[in-house]
Amino acid sequence: MDIRNKVALVTGASSGIGAATARKLAAEGVIVGLAARRRDRLDALATEIEGNGGSAIALETDVTDMASCKKAADTLITAHGRIDVLVNNAGLMPLSDIDSFKTDEWQRMVDVNITGCSMSRRLCYRR
Ligand X SMILES: NC(=O)c1ccc[n+]([C@@H]2O[C@H](COP(=O)([O-])OP(=O)(O)OC[C@H]3O[C@@H](n4cnc5c(N)ncnc54)[C@H](OP(=O)(O)O)[C@@H]3O)[C@@H](O)[C@H]2O)c1
Q: Which is nearer to ligand X, 5 or 114 (CB)?
A: 114
Residue 79: CB partners within 8 Å, gap ≥ 6?
Answer: 57
Query: What part of residues 81-100 is at the interface with ligand X (CB under 6 A)?
Result: 89-93
d(CA 50, CA 56): 6
120 binds ligand X (CB under 6 A): no
3-state helix, strand, coil in the chain (%, to 5): 50, 15, 30
Q: Which is nearer to ligand X, 12 or 33 (CB)?
A: 12
Q: Which is nearer to ligand X, 54 or 116 (CB)?
A: 116
CB 43 → ligand X: shortest distance, Å?
12
Q: Report the alpha-carbon angle 75-87-58, nearest 5.
A: 35
x/- string (CB under 6 A) for ligand X, residues 4-43?
-------xx-xxxxx-----------------xxx-----
Contact of 69 with 120, CB cutoff 8 Å: yes
62 binds ligand X (CB under 6 A): yes
CB 16 → ligand X: shortest distance, Å?
2
CA within 13 Å, CB half, 16: 11
**What three-state secondary structure class fits 8?**
strand
72 binds ligand X (CB under 6 A): no
Which residues form the interface with ligand X (CB under 6 A)? Answer: 11-12, 14-18, 36-38, 61-64, 89-93, 112, 116
